[in-house]
Amino acid sequence: MRTRMGLIAAVVVGCSTLAIGTAFAEASASSDGLAAKDARITREVRQKLAQDVPDSQYQMSVSTIGDGVVVLSGRAETGFSEARALQDARKVPGVTAVEDRLRIVA
């Protein structure tokens, strides 16, 4: 009886460990996919800004902090260039929100 209970306990622990390991592997693969998606979003926002906002009008940094949230920080020469940068970032597929940390420096 004692051996049987030990065997049952070992099977339960083994199954729990397998389930936790599988969940961890899935979460890790999922986070790798999100990191790749965020990197793509950051790259596309930078490309869009380079096309649409002349270099002389901005010194901006672009980052994606997860879940499609883009952060624009740095300096913009005018309110128009700031607004244009925010608008351009919002147009990129996969962007869910844009956080404005830009300062207008004339």
**Domains (range + CATH), the chain:** 2-104 (3.30.1340.30)
Query: What pLDDT sits at residue 58?
Result: 60
- Residue 86 is encoded by which pair of tokens? 């925010």
Query: What pLDDT sits at residue 1?
Result: 56
Q: In whole angstroms, what is the distance from residue 96 CA to residue 70 CA?
A: 8
Question: Would strands 58-64 and 69-76 be described as parallel, antiparallel, or unpaired?
Answer: antiparallel
Identify which of 55, 89, 40 has the alpha carbon closest to the alpha carbon of residue 101: 89
Q: How does pLDDT run across 2-22, given as a tens digit for each residue?
A: 555 544 444 444 444 444 444
Q: How does pLDDT run across 21-72, given as a tens digit for each residue?
A: 444 444 444 567 778 999 999 999 999 998 876 664 568 899 999 999 999 9
**Overall size of the chain counted in residues:** 106
> 16 by DSSP, 3-state: which?
helix
- First vs last Cα of the chain: how many Å apart? 83
pTM for this structure? Answer: 0.67
Query: What pLDDT sits at residue 40?
Result: 96
